[in-house]
Amino acid sequence: MDNSLPPFKIFSGSASQYMAEEICKELGVELGKMKIEHFADGEFEVSFEESVRGCEVYLVQSTFPNSDNLMELLLMIDAAKRASARNVVAVMPYFGWARQDRKDKPRVSIAAKLVSDMLVTAGADRVITMDLHADQIQGFFNIPVDHLYASSVFIPYIQSLKLEDLVIATPDVGGAKRANSYAKYLDVPLVLCHKQRAKANVVAKMTVIGDVKDKNVILVDDMVDTAGTITKAANLMMENGAKSVRALCSHAIMSDPASERVDECALVEMIFTNSIPFRKDCKKCTIISVARLFADTIRRVHSNQSISSQYLIK
């Protein structure tokens, strides 16, 4: 590192300490000391146990449910600014509330915009995140947003499988752009699934658009919640003559009964990143770490280097 640069320190909220520790190991630094004290009424207090004056402070915290994780991050940002940190960067491997990015029916909030406003109001100078549910969320911020892609770790994994007759598929039309990027990079066909929802987290009907007969299919999505869509798509692929079906998904939300659905469906393997801690018992799940991706990005951001080389595909 250039000695003329201000020092940097990495701290973690309680939900993402495992990730922060991996990032620090990659960077060869110690994880900063901080204390989160909980009170009897559920309120909590965040305090840094070492000086951050004049430092570049990187706060690692994914904001998956519950909302305490978001509140922790907001308090960490506020505490760092009040302690005279030079710059505060929110490192959010998973950006929660991203599915609420527009008004899709009357009288609803745009939660992703609200969360972005809260982060900026708290004092964040930059956000580093990965595989937003909707790319336009970057535009909700008036500060720099480094949007990383799990393809940086997924593409090498796909190539290591050495699958013949490969097809990339998406479990819904909304993920077509992401899946198409994989298909173009790997120079393989793209297949779409069209779904109709009965209500949130419930798929009423699904059809396959494209040929999967005698193909090894890899489904690509940004997150899995109850796993209803992805498992239904996998079963449908096999019904249409696929040889095998795997799934790549960036964020393992995996609300019950997702694990049971994955284990019981036609999927050979479900591959996630560790953006969210995965503590469920699911035999078919493989977790790939993105700590090195975030560590390299932090190193580049701190030394004012381009991060575009991080992107295999967008």
Active-site residue set: 195
C-beta separation of 312 from 184 below 8 A: no
Cis ω for the linkage preceding 3 (within 30 of 0): no
C-beta separation of 48 from 80 below 8 A: yes
CA distance 20 to 25: 9
Partnered with residue 190 across adjacent β-strands are: 168
Gyration radius (Cα) of the chain, Å: 20
CA distance 76 to 47: 8
